[in-house]
Amino acid sequence: MTSPYNPALLATDPPPVMEARRWIEGATFSPERPLLNLSQAAPADPPPPEMLAAMARIVTDDPDAHLYGPVLGLPGLRARVASDWSAGYGGTVKAAQVAITSGCNQAFAAAIATLAARGDDVILPTPFYFNHKMWLDMEGIGATLLETGPDLIPDAGAAAALIGPRTRAIVLVSPNNPGGVEYPAATLAAFRDLARARDLALIVDETYRDFDARDGAPHDLFADPDWDDVLIQLYSFSKAYRLTGHRVGTIIASEARLAQVEKWLDTVTICPNGIGQRAALWGMENLGDWLAGERAEILDRRAAMTEGFADLPGWELMGCGAYFGYAAHPFDDPSDVVCRMLVERAALLTLSGTMFGPRRDAGGSGRAEATLRIAFANADRAGLSEMFDRLRRLD
């Protein structure tokens, strides 16, 4: 009997965050030791009060916010992104090279739709962002995995050896999810040069750019006058302005590519969320100081992670930045077993390294079984101090 299901979808791993939530179904945690949820890299708080007030005015006073809008997004928001990006990266980005999407995951899916078909191939460094791998799997597009070294930084020379006749793109995430590391400008430039030389697209997901520890532009890719012949940049407003539920992201690429993106978006969502787009624009116009404070808080948590792991025997912090710490654990069991143990014995919910890379029996190096991701978007210094206390008390 023929299966009524798409085999590619059946073969795709389940969403890791949803899987982790199942680990705590039916569990009880004491008031003295409540669950510390370190699994999801998204703010749990609503937007700041000023933005909520602005959104309320949008709901009541702007009738166009409730109607279909342009498929590629509000002209004002596209223009503001182009202006800010041109200034921030020291290059030239035009409004016509910016499209607004329903979140950054949709931006990735739209970009891939313009590049690759079933049977084609995309290069992903490991550890990878699981939703990128899931989308490729669903579409029947191969994911060739580029192993990174102990510093979690991918190497363009190693990537060159993996390019085949059906390779269509290389995908980088910086600051990295799950590794937290910030890719050096020279690394991004080397991948740009490789992609251009081999007639590939370079997709750079900068969802967490607002929390980069470096001052100034993290790279000079947009300073290249021909950047749009190779570069596709992705971004999300969800993390910067706590608009996760409103789903607002961007894809920045050539006008010719966005003409193809428009076809795809029109069949999927027709247009991005009108209220979310207007809120994002309001945030860009009014919340610069507030966002700087959010960045300072995240950088302080990053410092707390670095300090805490330096004093935690047996553990190694391999990468830390944006919302993430990526750590090697000291246990003999594989990381998926370790993560369940941490729920039961320490009331800590983290994600297993096996959710971000292949197991050894699937061709991996073994790092996936030895590592886990700690997301500290919703854990301040006090919460992280409690986490380290609980880890020290494990036998």
Could you report the per-residue pLDDT of 88-146, keeping only the tens digit for each? 999 999 999 999 999 999 999 999 999 999 999 999 999 999 999 999 999 999 999 99
CA 80 – CA 98 distance, rounded (Å): 10
Measured distance CA(73)–CA(68) in Å, rounded: 10
Full-model pTM: 0.95
Domains, the chain, ranges and CATH?
Answer: 7-46+290-392 (3.90.1150.10), 49-286 (3.40.640.10)
Longest dimension (CA), the chain: 61
φ/ψ bin of 377: left (φ > 0), alpha (ψ from -120 to 50), beta (otherwise): alpha
283 has which bridge partners?
Answer: none
Radius of gyration of the chain (CA): 21
Alpha helices in 30-125 (DSSP H): 49-61, 75-89, 104-115
User: Span 9-14, mean pLDDT?
Assistant: 88
**38-41 — which CB contacts under 8 Å span 24+ positions?**
38/348, 38/349, 38/350, 38/374, 38/375, 38/376, 38/378, 38/379, 38/387, 39/349, 39/350, 39/351, 39/375, 40/375, 40/377, 40/378, 41/177, 41/239, 41/322, 41/323, 41/324, 41/375, 41/377
How far apart are the C-alpha atoms of 71 and 48, rounded to whole Å? Answer: 28
Q: Look at residue 361 in the predicted model and tell me its pLDDT.
A: 84
Pick from 145, 155, 153, 152: which is nearest to 125 by CA?
Answer: 145
Q: Contact 153/205 with Cβ under 8 angstroms?
A: no
What is the spatial distance between Cα 9 and Cα 356, in angstroms, rounded to a whole number?
18
- Could you identify the residue written with the tokens 């006749």? 165
Instruction: Encode pLDDT of 53-71 as tens digits.
Output: 999 999 999 999 999 999 9
